[in-house]
Amino acid sequence: MSFKILCVFAGKENVFFLVMIDEIQYMTKYIYYDKAHQVLAPNLPGAYHGLVESKVAPMLVSGSF
């Protein structure tokens, strides 16, 4: 994922990032696995689980149902 590069860059350059994602539940409605927009990505928000706990590039994620 592209967000993982922030952790790598922060660790090497001694800089810090904060990534904010609001309304993460909409990722499952509007992001698709395929170019034809036929296959939704229902498990995409779970892919961020390992990244939200980073000490050098933490993520603030919010959503509502």
Per-residue pLDDT of 3-53, as tens digits, reads 678 778 887 888 877 778 788 777 778 888 888 988 888 777 777 777 677
Res 21: pLDDT:
78
pLDDT at 1 over 80: no
Into how many domains does the chain fold?
1
The parent domain of residue 33 ranges over 4-61
How far apart are the C-alpha atoms of 50 and 23, rounded to whole Å?
A: 18
How far apart are the C-alpha atoms of 42 and 51, rounded to whole Å?
A: 18
* 64: amino acid identity, one letter: S
Alpha helices (runs of H) in 1-65, residue ranges in sequence order = 4-13, 27-30
How many Cβ atoms sit within 10 Å of the Cβ of residue 57? 21
